[in-house]
Amino acid sequence: MTITIFLGSMLAAMALGVPIAFSLLLCGAALMWHLNMFDAQILAQNVINGADSFPLLAVPFFMLAGEIMNAGGLSRRIVNFAMSLVGHIKGGLGYVTIVAAVILASLSGSAVADAAALTALLLPMMVAAGHDKARSAGLIASAGIIAPIIPPSIGFVIFGVAANVSISKLFMAGIFPGVWLAVALVFTWWYLVRKEVVAPPPRKSAAEVLEALRLATWALVLPFIIVFGLKFGVFTPTEAAVVAAVYSLFVSTLVYRELNLKQLVPLFVSAAKTCSVVMFLVAAAMVSAWLITVANLPAQVVALLQPLLDSPRLLMLAIMILTMLVGTALDMTPTILLLTPVLMTVVKAAGIDPVYFGVLFIINNAIGLITPPVGTVLNAVAGVGKISMDEVTKGVIPFMIAQFVIMFLMVAFPQIVMVPAHWFY
């Protein structure tokens, strides 16, 4: 009955068009009423406490870093560098998209920001070259979701806080899975464009490649700073976010000189607006998370999944399918905050490594960003690229399937995730 009231009230509110954050608050209030413990003061306290977290400070700084990188020329120079490397290959603009997405993912951690930047920079070029617009938009959208997996990742920060799992370990464990998703996109793009008659751009000379590398060096240094800083304990993930934002600001204003003080104000406002949405979602979801614990819902879920506890792979498969279904209706942040308190109890009972679970859970949620009907990244690509949602959805399907295949391979063979992760630890 408790689970029915919790899910029913939230889904009913969402069906009526209530924003997700307020739906979470309403289902929390409904659950409090059901438990005969409704108190507006407790509700308010949990909202405040939900956002009062030092690790969550990483979210606004990573978002700010992404805004500065896109406006300050870092993203464009990375795309130009990728173009000089692989642009001349058949279907080269697609490979440029994938390479640039991996590099951008190691800078900002925001799927929407990366997908929007790649769409603005590369979609017109791909269409002008003769590539199918829907397929190109689908590739860009699926490449953009690598951002929440390769560190620094906003998704890992939120999951780490909600699950009380080391964010640094999550960052390190996400490197290779993110690369594998990119490899899946490479093979899928190669298969789809192998019969296309599209003339690739001319090969860049060695001098032009070196010049592109020189111009992009300042941007390319940042991922190494973050990874090595985290690995050797120079700074925490939250401090890494501050480093990323300050470094991006320094490079954009004093090195590339593409930003001035007047341009910074709108960037800070834009980052603050985006961050406020995320943080309010986090705060609202923490009310539900607290009530989930009080109502002992995790124990009820463990009892339901008891037959699967002796088979971790089957349990992970069931959890991934559940997350896929939820991801079609909810955005990444509320899915993480709603499911994590429940699923972590099950995962620990089955003896599954929380870091391994966290990586696959975030991968699943990232792919959820390109699954209709919600598909936040699909909406961003459609809006920036001036293309219909139907076309983007059609174009993204083969790439989404390839990424799901990689995810289920990681379910079947956990070593794919954990062996490289231990190298980085």
- pLDDT, mean of residues 125-129: 86
Q: Which is more confident, 55 or 223?
A: 223
Phi, psi at residue 198, to the nearest 5°?
-125, 120
Say what the pLDDT of residue 3 is.
Answer: 65
270: left (phi over 0), alpha (psi -120 to 50) or beta: alpha
Q: What is the DSSP letter of 306?
A: G
- Rounded distance between C-alpha atoms, residue 345 and residue 16, angstroms: 32
Give the integer Cα–Cα distance in Å for 269 and 289.
30
Q: Which residues contact 31 (CB under 8 A, 6 or more apart)?
A: 2, 5, 6, 9, 288, 291, 295
Lookup result for tokens 């939900």: 50
Most confidently predicted of 26-30, 55-59, 237-241: 237-241
pLDDT tens column, 176-227: 999 999 999 999 999 998 877 777 778 888 898 899 999 889 988 888 888 7
Confidence at 297, pLDDT banded by 50, 70, 90 = low
The domain locations on the chain are: 1-38, 55-424
Instruction: Supply the pTM of this predicted model.
Output: 0.85
Higher pLDDT, 295 or 359: 359
Q: What's the token pair of residue 414?
A: 């956990």
Closest CA to 67 of 346, 322, 267: 267
Burial (CB count within 10 angstroms: exposed 0-12, middle 13-18, buried 19+), residue 130 = exposed
- Compute the distance between CA of residue 54 and CA of residue 128 in angstroms, rounded to an integer: 46
Classify residue 148 as exposed, middle or buried by CB count within 10 Å of its CB (0-12, 13-18, 19+): buried
Q: How many CA atoms lie within 13 A of 421 on its CB side?
A: 27
Please say if the pLDDT value at position 140 is more than 80.
yes
Most distant CA pair in the chain, distance: 73
CA-to-CA distance for 414 and 357, rounded, in angstroms?
Answer: 10
DSSP secondary structure, 11-79, as one string: HHHHHTT--HHHHHHHHHHHHHHHTT---HHHHHHHHHHHH--SGGGHHHHHHHHHHHHHHTTHHHHHH
Q: How far is CA 244 from the centre of its chain?
A: 17
